Amino acid sequence: MQKETNKIRVAILGVGNCASSLVQGVEYYTKFSEKTSGLMADNIGGYKAENIEFVCGFDVDERKIGLPLKDAIFARPNCTIVLNGDITSEAPIYRSPVIDGVSPQMEAYPESNRFVIKDELKTTDSLVDGVVYDQDLVHSLRAEIVQQLKDHQVEVLINYLPVGSQLATEFYAEICIELGISLVNCIPVFIASDPVWEQKFIDAGIPIIGDDMRSQFGASIVSQMLQELAFERGHHVKAHIQRNVGGNTDFLNMEDKNRLKSKKISKENVIRAQNDIRGISTQDSFLHAGPSEYIAFYGDNKVANFRLELEGFMGAPVILDAQLSVQDSPNSAGVVIDAIRYVYVARELGLVGALRGPSASTQKTPPQQMMFSDAIYECHALAKRELTESTRKQLKK
């Protein structure tokens, strides 16, 4: 299979709502190349949205396995808004092992709202960290996945697994390291921000971006900017509370509270980081962020509520109550289009490990938290193929 020289060959892990919006968006901005509204960056290192090519995908849902990408992104339980229904991608969707990728409590919900998993994938013979799965089957599927990634000459893998998929994410991270594939880790399983895992990618000579994608105009970036604004205007943050409600499978999966630990940490990292960067203690501040409820009626719409209680001039109280309503998956897609291009340009420049600026700009828990302006500076430099002090340290030795 001959690679087109100007294409970035991408595989998608988890063909859910976020993947649907991402594919819709890439084909939309390819078809209407003159339109740039809605994108954060039109050109990154010479690459536009039209240079992204989805070559294959992986999923556990029987309704998607074996379909071309153009059909799989609209299959149940996906419920995101269709903004571009004219999709042409014939990229095949292959079977992925479940491991810990699906919460058992999802079996209690109607088929239309949950994953449909083949019975053989739930045959059990091994218990690891409370997760039961068929080791022989996983080993067999691993060999198939490695070959499929090789056959499609995949250069970047997007991780859209459900929250709490620790072992499944590590399974694919090891494959990326083995094959020299860059990972864009869009979920709160800490890989790019874990020094041990990052070193593995450094040793393999490949860049990665992670962890836990933050939306283009979502709850996390709004919380960060509000926190930054409060500090820059001389206010003490007594409390910063962010609560989220939604009705997609991500929120349904997170009804299993055992899967929420890393998600809560990741979302609160965005707020806490603004204190840490300035050396301000959070001991006398109440910080809370996280999913609060699954309501099927909302579908892919997410509603975030914010409450900030501040002390201003002479301790005068300032209270902000706000609400944000967004289509969750389209809100994430533009960020991932950027992340794909940043990590690919980094590959071409010979950078290795977790990219600091692009990770801080596109993810909730990057290896290094930055103020918004500093992260954007790093991104703009990489987009122009310029090496900052940060990126020079990441050049392949």
Taking only the tens place, the pLDDT of each residue in 275-311 is 777 777 777 889 988 777 899 999 999 999 999 999 9
At 239-268, the pLDDT tens digits run: 999 999 999 988 988 888 777 777 777 778
Query: How is 225-272 classified by DSSP, letter by letter?
Result: HHHHHHHHTT-EEEEEEEEEEE-SHHHHHTTSGGG-HHHHHHHHHHHH
Nearest-angstrom CA–CA distance, 69 and 42: 24
Q: What is the pLDDT at residue 114?
A: 84
At 38-88, the pLDDT tens digits run: 999 999 999 999 999 999 999 999 999 999 999 999 999 999 999 999 999
At 91-113, the pLDDT tens digits run: 999 999 999 988 877 877 888 88
And the tokens for 155? Answer: 């250069």
Instruction: Give the mean pLDDT of 355-381.
Output: 96
Please tell me whether the overall predicted TM-score, pTM, comes out greater than 0.85 for this model.
yes
Instruction: Give the mean pLDDT of 349-369.
Output: 97
DSSP 8-state class, residue 47 = B
Q: What is the pLDDT at residue 125?
A: 47
DSSP 8-state class, residue 222 = H
And the tokens for 5? Answer: 């020289």
Residue 130 has pLDDT above 60, yes or no: no
Q: Label residue 371 exposed, middle or buried (CB < 10 Å: 0-12, 13-18, 19+).
A: middle
At 202-223, the pLDDT tens digits run: 999 999 999 999 999 999 999 9
What confidence tier does 128 reach under pLDDT thresholds 50, 70, 90? very low
Q: What is the pLDDT at residue 134?
A: 80
Residue 121 has pLDDT above 60, yes or no: no
- Cα–Cα distances in angstroms (integers) from residue 147 to residues 68, 94, 279, in the given order: 18, 11, 48
Nearest-angstrom CA–CA distance, 378 and 8: 22
Say how far residue 338 (Cα) sits from the centre of its chain.
12
Q: How many percent of the chain have pLDDT more than 70?
A: 95
C-beta of residue 216 within 8 angstroms of C-beta of residue 40: yes
Q: What is the pLDDT at residue 117?
A: 87
Nearest CA to 303 out of 386, 259, 245, 375 is that of 245
Say how far residue 233 (Cα) sits from the centre of its chain.
31
